[in-house]
């Protein structure tokens, strides 16, 4: 940063805290941070309205990044590759405001982005940003955006139109075809709903409490697979004011009767169907939503995570809802400090390709090699978790990925290795809708079921294994 840039914006144009936070969040992502954590850290001092505006800007920019890049590259002499990464991100933020956020005046989108560029990269960057964004604004067509050259290849066209890496589009098209893949990409670019699960009250009672606190609810999306007692909150309801640190007294009272969970995750716990009175372990528990669901019928749920920060979120959720039968513990899923239990849920770390609408940064962070590497780690966790299941008990393996290497391949490899000792067992009739079952396995797909993607398999232990080492919980 130059001395002149450090002096602050010129011509009396003030940069809003929300726009400054947006630039900082994208810089955090380039340094390897995850979007959710960067957002929470950079928006702690903002009010709810600014947080919602900022989320629309950052999530939208990431969801349409490839298309924004194509639009900008046509208007930057020499293309974007010659520019500093910070300037490219600022151009993306400014262009998104111009073409996709109708509530933002063009002068604000351009002027504040230019001042941010000066502040972060100097006057030369500011001049370039001004020229490019003014050209974008000048060349906008009837649809609000300037024209972009569309590739003739259908997969390249999909990758550009819906802003996904071409390698992901190609592998999905190989599996489902172009039409189904297009539906998946469209779903990934949609806004994820906020869905509440009632806790300690009925769904109807929770809806009444929400309405009394000024929080509107909506019906499930048409055609979506939906647990009968999940409640969809209206857009802009401000879930942080219900379960977050800034919850008002009235809204915090409502927050003690609910937790937030996408229907796909709820389906995993319904599919698990460990049975009433079971003693179960959730060995990859953070942030704790699945452990809370299992606790509805289990005698005890041991909820573990190796990350102290993530485990703190489990403890916070358990304390907020005052759940007496969830017992958080610090421990690695590869060596959980537990005696054998009736059931174990392995909600394995994964690429998260089923949750791109919630985590649009993930599509740009993933590499083709990540799928294979993650699958190997998942297999190791499954083998370790199997040792925690008593004879006759259940092991439930799940992910929020839609990739075969992380799902069916992991389960099939484990069953092949333990033939005669473990078998695939479908859930009890009616545990989940038949539409999300595939040969006894849970398979939830965004393009078909209107919710996040998820996979799970129930594995029944039919014989005792060899000697196992246990440590008291």
The residues annotated as belonging to the active site are: 400
Take residue 122 and report the two structure tokens written for it.
């100097």
For residue 426, give both structure tokens. 């479908």
Looking at residue 210, the DSSP 8-state letter turns out to be H
Q: Taking Cα atoms as reference points, which of 207, 345, 336, 327 lies closest to residue 270?
A: 345
Two structure tokens written together for 199: 């806790």
- CA-to-CA dists, residue 197 to 219, 229, 288, 346, 440, angstroms: 14, 7, 13, 21, 25
Q: Among candidates 367, 365, 410, which has minimal Cα distance to 385?
A: 410
Please classify residue 315 by burial: count the beta carbons closer than 10 Å to its beta carbon, then call 0-12 exposed, 13-18 middle and 19+ buried: middle
Type and span of the H or E element at 236: none
CA–CA distance, 272 with 459 (Å, rounded to integer): 10
Q: Select from 80, 3, 89 the least CA-distant residue to 38.
A: 89
- Nearby residues of 118 by Cβ (< 8 Å), 6 or more positions away: 5, 9, 10, 125, 126
Helix (H) or strand (E) holding 110: helix 106-121
Output the six-digit token pair for 70: 């194509």
- The rounded distance, in Å, linking the Cα atoms of 225 and 223 is 7
Contacts of 308 (CB under 8 A, 6+ apart): 330
| 217-222 long-range Cβ contacts below 8 angstroms, 24+ apart | 218/193, 220/450, 221/193, 221/450
Q: Which two tokens stand for residue 207?
A: 């809806």
Give CA–CA dist 145/135, Å, rounded: 11
DSSP 82-105: GS-HHHHHHHHHHHHHHHH-TTS-
């Amino acid at each position: 940063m130059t001395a002149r840039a450090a002096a602050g914006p010129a011509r009396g144009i003030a940069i809003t805290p929300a726009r400054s936070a947006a630039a900082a969040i994208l810089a955090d992502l380039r340094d390897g941070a995850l979007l959710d954590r960067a957002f929470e850290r950079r928006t702690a001092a903002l009010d709810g309205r600014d947080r919602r505006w900022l989320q629309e800007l950052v999530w939208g920019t990431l969801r349409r990044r490839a298309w924004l890049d194509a639009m900008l590259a046509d208007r930057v002499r020499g293309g974007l590759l010659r520019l500093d990464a910070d300037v490219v991100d600022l151009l993306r933020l400014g262009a998104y405001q111009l073409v996709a956020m109708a509530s933002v005046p063009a002068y604000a989108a351009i002027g504040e982005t230019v001042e941010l560029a000066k502040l972060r990269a100097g006057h030369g960057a500011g001049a370039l940003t001004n020229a490019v964004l003014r050209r974008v604004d000048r060349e906008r067509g009837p649809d609000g955006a300037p024209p972009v050259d569309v590739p003739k290849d259908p997969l390249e066209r999909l990758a550009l139109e819906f802003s996904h890496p071409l390698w992901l589009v190609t592998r999905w098209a190989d599996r489902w075809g172009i039409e189904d893949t297009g539906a998946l990409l469209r779903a990934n670019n949609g806004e994820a709903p906020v869905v509440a699960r009632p806790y300690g009250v009925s769904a109807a009672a929770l809806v009444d409490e929400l309405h009394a606190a000024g929080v509107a609810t909506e019906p499930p999306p048409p055609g979506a697979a939906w647990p009968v007692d999940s409640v969809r909150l209206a857009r802009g309801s401000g879930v942080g004011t219900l379960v977050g640190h800034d919850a008002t007294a009235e809204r915090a009272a409502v927050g003690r009767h609910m937790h937030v969970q996408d229907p796909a995750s709820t389906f995993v716990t319904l599919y698990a169907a460990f049975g009433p009175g079971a003693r179960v372990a959730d060995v990859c528990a953070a942030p704790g939503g699945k452990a809370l669901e299992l606790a509805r019928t289990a005698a005890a749920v041991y909820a573990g995570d190796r990350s102290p920060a993530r485990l703190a979120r489990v403890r916070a959720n358990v304390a907020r809802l005052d759940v007496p039968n969830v017992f958080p513990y610090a421990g690695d899923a590869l060596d959980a400090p537990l005696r054998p239990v009736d059931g174990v849920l392995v909600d394995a770390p994964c690429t998260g390709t089923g949750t791109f609408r919630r985590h649009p940064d993930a599509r740009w962070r993933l590499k083709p090699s990540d799928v294979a590497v993650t699958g190997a780690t998942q297999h190791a966790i499954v083998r370790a978790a199997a040792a925690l299941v008593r004879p006759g008990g259940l092991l439930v393996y799940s992910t929020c990925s839609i990739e075969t290497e992380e799902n069916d391949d992991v389960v099939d490899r484990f069953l092949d290795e333990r033939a005669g000792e473990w078998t695939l067992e479908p859930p009890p009739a009616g545990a989940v809708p038949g539409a999300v079952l595939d040969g006894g396995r849970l398979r939830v797909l965004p393009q078909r079921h209107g919710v996040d993607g998820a996979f799970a398999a129930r594995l029944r232990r039919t014989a005792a294994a060899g000697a196992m080492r246990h440590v008291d919980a």
